[in-house]
Amino acid sequence: MKSVRKQIRKISIAGFTSQDARFIFNFLKMNIHDRYLGSTLGSLWVILNPMIMFAIYTFVFGYVFKAKIPGAETNLGYAIWLIAGYGPWLAISEGLLNSTTSVVAGAGLIKNLAFKTELLPVAAALTGMVPLFVSLCFLTILLGIDGNPMSWHVIFVIPAIILQFTFIIAIGFFFSAINVFVRDFGIILPNLLIMLVFVTPIFYPETSTPPLLQSISAFNPFYIICQAYRQALIFHQIPNILSLIYVGLISWILGNFGLQFFRRLKGNFESML
């Protein structure tokens, strides 16, 4: 049994071993804990914040403005459609923001602890799992209230999640390394993400945009990921498999180049932190 465990520990994927998973998990817990350090409710806020946001969106768009999308028959239709896309986007946004600042924020760890620095953006990107989980739970409740429970198509959420965080981690390698040398990048990134969310059909249907933008959206990985959730969860459809393969290919390419880029620069991190 011990020999099997040793062999498992020796298994390496892109330079990462099973032992690195423990570091990632511990860094993930530390990121969540430190974010709300000193508050009365502590890490509970990581769940309450998105939950409150989704509740506000449901009330405003479902019962105040009563916004509707084509084909929706109930007041909750738009709120459900919005959260099904915005929940994954919130996870993408939080994962990218946290991974970008992960190396700078972990300067003390880098100087005092021996570990693979590239684990920091990986763990930081995974913090987006929390708002995604909250959005899926909230969406399940809304779908039940609306009389549109999830079907077997929900299984396609699993590959969507895997592709989503693979894509975030791939970009995170680039962004975290760049941010060490250009701190302004981490400051301007939230504004860039706000611009991106309004360019991407998250708050409005793709059909309401000009044909040119629709063509661009077809190759936008962020839109493809969010649309996969909507198709599987509320429309009971199989997501576009070719589009998901496209995102997987982009993630693989970016991940390989991003990891090489990060490892090439990480030798200079300590002098810049």
Nearest Cα residue to 239 out of 64, 84, 110: 84
Q: Tell me whether residue 132 is in a domain.
A: yes
Element containing residue 20 per DSSP (H, E): helix 18-35
Q: Are 251 and 166 in contact (CB under 8 A)?
A: yes
Q: Are 24 and 121 in contact (CB under 8 A)?
A: no
- Domain span holding position 94: 23-272
Q: Tell me whether residue 16 is in a domain.
A: no
The pair of structure tokens assigned to 169 is 């981690």
Over residues 224-263, the pLDDT tens digits come to 999 999 999 998 999 999 999 999 999 999 999 999 999 9
Whole-structure pTM value: 0.87
Say what the pLDDT of residue 170 is: 95
Indicate whether 114 pLDDT > 50: yes
Q: Tell me whether residue 99 is in a domain.
A: yes
Average pLDDT over residues 105-132: 87
CA gap 143, 76 in Å, rounded? 9
C-alpha distances in angstroms, 252 versus 66, 169, 248, 259? 41, 10, 6, 11
Say what the pLDDT of residue 13 is: 67
Q: Tell me whether residue 149 is in a domain.
A: yes
The pair of structure tokens assigned to 227 is 């649309």
Over residues 139-161, the pLDDT tens digits come to 998 888 888 888 899 999 999 99
Average pLDDT across the chain, whole number: 84
Over residues 72-93, the pLDDT tens digits come to 666 677 888 888 999 999 999 9
Indicate whether 16 pLDDT > 50: yes
CA gap 135, 139 in Å, rounded? 6
Q: Tell me whether residue 242 is in a domain.
A: yes
Average pLDDT over residues 45-57: 80
More confident residue, 189 or 108: 189
Q: Tell me whether residue 9 is in a domain.
A: no
Element containing residue 179 per DSSP (H, E): helix 157-181
Overall number of domains in the chain: 1
Say what the pLDDT of residue 4 is: 43
Q: Are 155 and 238 in contact (CB under 8 A)?
A: no
Q: Tell me whether residue 151 is in a domain.
A: yes
The pair of structure tokens assigned to 153 is 């198509």
Q: Tell me whether residue 71 is in a domain.
A: yes
Say what the pLDDT of residue 70 is: 60
The pair of structure tokens assigned to 25 is 């998990």
